[in-house]
Amino acid sequence: REKDLDDLVAAVKILSARSLRFRTVVVGDGLMRPELEARLPEAHFTGYQVGPDLAAWYASADVFAFPSTTETFGNVILEAFASALPVVAVNSGGSKDLIAPDENGLLARPHDAEDFADTIARLLCDPARREAMRERALRSSERFDWGEVNRRLIANYRQVIREHRGPIQEPAV
């Protein structure tokens, strides 16, 4: 529930009511799966996936839709980018820091299923726009590796310490 899947369900229903041609695939598993299967009987549920199987699902998609407002970093967004997959996420949490609108994805208003559906539709209905975003999404993923992420995190911590406590005493090695 913390991933705001109710908003995804509502957006899928809105898109279906518009007679837009698409297929919803839910990759993963969890406590909500039986409820989601009941609410989205037309969707395909893959269950838990890892490695090459997970990569194949990303690679076979046209759009990755991610409604979570609570995500702090969004590894799934980076996985989508690494598969050259544009992402539709909400302008909240860590997602907003990873998505460059009209570059590697699009952002919708949080907890607004109508806007989320409209934003997904913009990509589904515009193959040229999607295709243009694919390469940029892939390039976006290349900016992230754990070493660089951790270096930036440590640099941010050091900056906060300097601003609030003064110079940092480096440990003797």
pLDDT digits (tens, 9 = 90+) for 81-103: 999 999 999 999 899 999 999 99
Q: Can you give the pLDDT at residue 162?
A: 85
The mean predicted confidence, pLDDT, of the chain is 93
Q: Can you give the pLDDT at residue 151?
A: 87
pLDDT digits (tens, 9 = 90+) for 40-91: 999 999 999 999 999 999 999 999 999 999 988 888 999 999 999 999 999 9
Residue type, 61: A
Please say whether the beta carbons of 99 and 105 come within 8 A: yes
Q: Which residue has the tokens 């999607």?
A: 130
pLDDT digits (tens, 9 = 90+) for 143-164: 887 787 788 889 988 988 888 8
Residue type, 126: D
- C-alpha 159: how far from its chain's center? 29
pTM, rounded to two decimals: 0.84
Q: Can you give the pLDDT at residue 166?
A: 64
Phi and psi for 10 in degrees, rounded to 5? -60, -40
How far is the C-alpha of 119 from the C-alpha of 140, rounded, in Å? Answer: 20
How far is the C-alpha of 35 from the C-alpha of 51, rounded, in Å? Answer: 26
Query: For residue 167, what pLDDT band results from cuts at 50, 70 and 90?
Result: low
Q: Can you give the pLDDT at residue 148?
A: 79
